[in-house]
Structure 1
Amino acid sequence: TLILAGCGFSGNIPPELGNLAELNFLALNSNNFTGEIPVSIGNLSKVHWLDLADNQLSGSIPVSTPSAPGLDRLLNAKHFHFNKNKLSGPIPSQLFSSDMTLIHVL
């Protein structure tokens, strides 16, 4: 579990977070993170809760490509919180794959 909500962090979300293979709960909400959501977050296969809400994140929600992971690889995820950011584009249909068990997407 890593809860860094409301800590006043700014800048990009460190892509190294994707190396925390045992992480099951990641809350980075209510900070001032900017830039895109790192594709490396897609490596957190045990995450069931991902809260990136209330930041200044931009770009689209990353999905897997042949050369990089994406959030569609988080098959254990039940909660994705992206609200109150500056994200663009549609919510990727890959997040609603029959292999995922999402309950809550904001």
Structure 2
Amino acid sequence: MMNDATRAQVRAADPAGSTWLSANAGSGKTRVLIDRVARLLLQGTEPQRILCLTYTKAAASEMQNRLFTRLGEWAMLPEPKLHDALADLGITGSIDAGALASARRLFARAIETP
């Protein structure tokens, strides 16, 4: 069951709308941004069309590592756990075998993108 903060993070991660993130360190801002990028990728956005700006190279590296870790996990998760992971991300509607297969392929697509 999601608490109000988690629900707000899921809404902020929805790429269908604009959002402004401002919060204390350790509050989940980077996770929300990674969730948003993951949802863009799941919707079919080409990785090279996504631009993420950070203040430091270290922050950019951290975001990339977290995204690759997430996508790598998706490639290996059993179907029921992958289904739950996509639902927790805020994916609505039917999460069918095609959606699961697409999520599994994202890791390869992302690492092949310069």
| TM-score between both structures, scaled by the size of structure 2 | 0.29
* More strand by percentage: 1
Which of the pair is proportionally richer in helix? 2
**Structure possessing the higher relative contact order (Cα contacts under 8 Å, 6 or more residues apart):** 2
TM-score relative to the length of structure 1: 0.31
